[in-house]
Structure 1
Amino acid sequence: MARRLYELAGSDPARLFSPYCWRTRMALAHKELDFESVPWRFAEKDVIGAHGSEKVPVLVDDEICVNDSWVIAEYLEKTYPDRPSLFGGEGGRAMARFINNWSDISIGQMAPFIIADIHAQLDPGDKDYFRRTREKGMGKPLEEVVAGREARLDDLRRWLHPLRMTLRTQPYLGGAKPNYADYVVFGPFQWARVTSPFELLKPDDLIHAWRERMLDLFDGMARKAPVVDAA
């Protein structure tokens, strides 16, 4: 049976935008493992429910079902030890776990800048669900959440400063070469890039340069994802 990765998609099945799914997609490429991408949408709960999950990513590997991006990364590292390591040892795994938690918080920091743009990219069958659940969590309409976002950008950029400081001395979070820590942090930036025309980074930002390097990895896999053109 072919290895399959269930990934969240917009109305365009090529617009794969979950930050968590991008972590797994990059991890599979790092491990040099082929996989079939299965676009999934919020309304298709029964599809992944059959694999014991309510959320993506879901990896089906030789009839073994694994969900949650961190659990999948650990599974890949254990199951394919002969392939390039995602962590580079136990110390790297522990550090990646910390960065994984920090990146999860970063997703919440980025969401108020792009959440209404995400809604515009969704399949019609997902839009009501997305609006209802996100507005409940944020306490206001999506359009109000993103209002005045230009004035709030400096706050986000200050939040990202530890990442910028790290990239002053090394090209990747993993050091000379990328590892799973890079894929974890890259996920939210790719999420924003493929769903919104609103640019979070200045062109001269070290994080912007790092993101460009990440986009070029694996024969430009992430760069080939469709983006939203600015109006």
Structure 2
Amino acid sequence: MTGGITLYELVGTTGESRPQFSHHVWKTKLALAYLGKSAESIPLSFHSIRTELAEKTSNPKVTVPTIVCDEGIITDSWAIAEYLEKKYGAEKSLFSSGKSFSKFLEQWALDTLAPELRPLIGPTVYNRIDEPSQAYYVQSRVGGDISKMDAMVAKLSDASFVAAQTTAARARLQLIEDFLTYKKSIGAPLWLGDGVPCHGDFCVFGWYAFSGVNADATKIWESDSLPLVHEWLEGFFKAGLVKKEDLPTPV
């Protein structure tokens, strides 16, 4: 391979081109867009990742995003970001606010925000993937216990459960709202990075993109109680980093 990048993404059924709903893949897609670099997209289902991509990479535990580039095969969004920074960072940095700051935002999203979003998003994803992928999903998420998955899906129809998750997730996002409030008070652009987007912005936005599969999860981000979070999200579209029509939407 010479010069180009191939990006393996996640969709519900192999053969679909969208929606790509992995929050990890969105980190890489946004990083590439910010750097002005294109990539050939190959969307795969969970099942195809575990079979086709595992065989291609000789890695039975391969995940997405995975890229194929001049350096070979790179898996994991953070490792890909480090590769892109090394190759293109002199032109435009993904870590302009420091690598540690982006790592903090990535870890905060995974450890603090995600636990409140996953109960709404995970069962919705299960309902949108093909049958072979569902079998893998049940095994990997609930140890093969289909009754647990059925119970998780059933909770999506429980208004009190959805309301509780919505409240909890918005409480987690208050940290971002407060930080953006400070940014606005000093006249700084509304990015989590210092004046420009950084990889940390992409790590948090990835969860917004992932939330798109579920209408209730999407509303968490678009609340009147989080006006600057909403303004921050709009900044991605205005900057041309992503198009709204490319994001996942509820069925």
TM-score, normalization by structure 1: 0.87
Q: Gapped runs of 5+ residues in structure 2?
A: 184-189
Q: What residue is the counterpart of 1:87 in the other structure? A: 95
Aligned residues: 226
Which protein is bigger by CA-based radius of gyration? 2
CA distance in 2 between counterparts of 1:67 and 1:46 reads: 16
Find 1:115's aligned residue among 106, 122, 138: 122
* 2:20–2:248 CA contact under 8 A, matched in 1: no
**5 Å matches for 1:176-215?**
176-193=195-212, 195-198=213-216, 199-204=219-224, 205=226, 206-215=228-237
Residues 103, 31 of structure 1: alpha-carbon distance in 2 compared, 3 angstrom cutoff: same
Normalized per residue, which structure has more helix?
A: 2
* 2:124–2:153 CA contact under 8 A, matched in 1: no
Q: Gapped runs of 5+ residues in structure 1?
A: none
* 2:236–2:242 CA contact under 8 A, matched in 1: no
Find 2:179's aligned residue among 166, 169, 173: 166
**5 Å matches for 1:1-231?**
1=1, 2-11=4-13, 12-44=16-48, 45-49=50-54, 50-51=56-57, 52=59, 54-62=62-70, 64-88=72-96, 92-105=98-111, 106-136=113-143, 139=148, 141-146=151-156, 147=158, 148-170=161-183, 171-193=190-212, 195-198=213-216, 199-204=219-224, 205=226, 206-218=228-240, 221-229=242-250
CA distance in 2 between counterparts of 1:182 and 1:137 reads: 35
* 1:48–1:58 CA contact under 8 A, matched in 2: no
* 1:6–1:39 CA contact under 8 A, matched in 2: yes
CA distance in 2 between counterparts of 1:213 and 1:137 reads: 41
Where 1:224 maps in the other structure, the secondary structure is helix
CA distance in 1 between counterparts of 2:232 and 2:144 reads: 32
CA distance in 2 between counterparts of 1:221 and 1:160 reads: 21
Where 1:17 maps in the other structure, the secondary structure is coil
1:145: how far off? 4.5
Which moves more between the two structures, 179-188 or 95-104? 95-104
Residues 46, 126 of structure 1: alpha-carbon distance in 2 compared, 3 angstrom cutoff: closer
Which moves more between the two structures, 159-168 or 220-229? 220-229
TM-score, normalization by structure 2: 0.81
CA distance in 2 between counterparts of 1:207 and 1:201 reads: 7
* 1:135–1:142 CA contact under 8 A, matched in 2: no
1:212: how far off? 2.1
What letter matches 2:63 in structure 1?
K
Residues 215, 132 of structure 1: alpha-carbon distance in 2 compared, 3 angstrom cutoff: farther
